[in-house]
Amino acid sequence: MRAILGAVFTAVLCFLTSCGTPGAPQAPSLNLPKPVDDFSAVRKGDKVFLSWTPAHQTTDHENIRHPGVTEVCRGVRDFPLIRCDQKVGEVHSQIAHWTHAEQVPKATFTDTLPPELEQQNPEAFAIYAIDDLNPRGNSAGLSNQVEIPLAPTLPPPQTIEAQVTPEGPELHWTAPKNVRQPDKLKFSYRIYRRLAPGSAQPATAKRGELIVGEFPWNGEQEITFVDHSFEWEQKYVYDVTTVTQFRGPLGQPEQVEGDDSPSVTVDVHDIFPPAVPTGVQAVASGVGQKPFIDLTWAPNLESDLAGYNVFRHEEGAPVKINKELVKSPSFRDDNVLPGHRYYYSVSAVDLRGNESGRSAETSEAIPSK
Question: Residue 340 maps to which CATH number?
Answer: 2.60.40.10
Do 142 and 191 lie in one domain? The reply is no
Q: What is the pLDDT of residue 21?
A: 47
Is residue 18 one of the residues assigned to a domain?
A: no
- How many domains does the chain contain in total? 3
Do 141 and 189 share a domain, yes or no?
no
Tell me, yes or no, whether 175 and 239 share the same domain: yes
Answer yes or no: are the C-beta atoms of 339 and 255 closer than 8 Å: no
Q: Parallel, antiparallel, or unpaired: how do β-strands 234-247 and 186-195 relate? A: antiparallel
Least confident of 47-61, 82-96, 158-172: 82-96
Mean pLDDT of 171-181: 90
DSSP annotation of 60: T
CA 114 to chain centre: 26
* Rounded-to-integer distance, Cα 11 and Cα 19, Å: 9
- Please report the pLDDT score of residue 1 as a whole number: 45
Q: How far is CA 13 from the centre of its chain?
A: 74
Phi, psi angles (nearest 5°) of residue 102:
-70, -15
8 assigned to some structural domain: no
57 to each of 68, 84, 100, 231, how far by Cα in Å? 12, 21, 9, 54
- Indicate if 220 and 241 belong to the same structural domain: yes
> Are 145 and 165 within one domain?
no
Residues 238 and 306 in one domain: no
Residues 168, 264 within the same domain: yes
Q: Give a yes or no: residue 247 inside a domain.
A: yes
**To the nearest 5 percent, what fractions of the chain are helix, strand and coil?**
5, 40, 55
> How high is the pLDDT of residue 94?
62
Among the candidates 245, 268, 291, a domain finishes at 268
Backbone angle region of 137, left / alpha / beta, with phi > 0 → left and psi within -120 to 50 → alpha: left
**Per-residue pLDDT band at 4 (split at 50, 70, 90):** very low
Q: Note whether 191 and 260 are same-domain residues.
A: yes
Nearest to 67 by CA among 159, 160, 137, 146: 137
Same domain, 171 and 245: yes
In which order are the strands placed within the sheet that holds 168-174? 161-165, 168-174, 222-226
Same domain as 256, residue 176: yes
At a CB cut-off of 8 Å and minimum separation 6, what does 29 contact?
A: 58, 60, 62
Domain assignment present for 7: no
Calpha distance 80→144 (Å, rounded): 9
Q: Give the residue from 258, 70, 226 showing the smallest Cα distance to 151.
A: 258
The CATH number for 257's domain is 2.60.40
> How far apart (Å, rounded) are the C-alpha atoms in residues 72 and 89?
5
Q: Is the pLDDT of residue 9 over 80?
A: no
The answer as to whether 273 is a domain residue is: no
Question: Which residues span the domain enclosing 55?
Answer: 40-149
pLDDT tens digits for range 73-93 = 999 876 788 888 789 999 987
For the segment 152-170, the average pLDDT, to the nearest whole number, is 95
For residues 230 and 184, state if they share a domain.
yes
Which whole number is the average pLDDT over 87-102?
A: 71
**Domain assignment present for 34:** no
Instruction: Point out the domain boundary residue: 235, 268, 301.
Output: 268
Length of the chain equals 369
Q: Of 268, 299, 329, which residue sits at a domain end? A: 268
Strand partners, 364: 342
Q: State yes or no: pLDDT of 277 exceeds 50.
A: yes
Q: What is the pLDDT of residue 83?
A: 86
Any domain includes 348: yes
Q: Over the stretch 103-126, which tens digit does the pLDDT of each residue have?
A: 678 899 999 999 999 888 888 899
Does 180 reside within a domain?
Answer: yes
What is the C-alpha to C-alpha distance for residues 309 and 329, in angstroms, rounded to an integer? 10
| Ordered DSSP codes for 91-156 | EEPPP---SSGGGSPPEEEEEEPPHHHHHH-TT-EEEEEEEE--TTS--S-----EEEE----PPP
DSSP state of 355: B
Same domain, residue pair 295 and 242: no
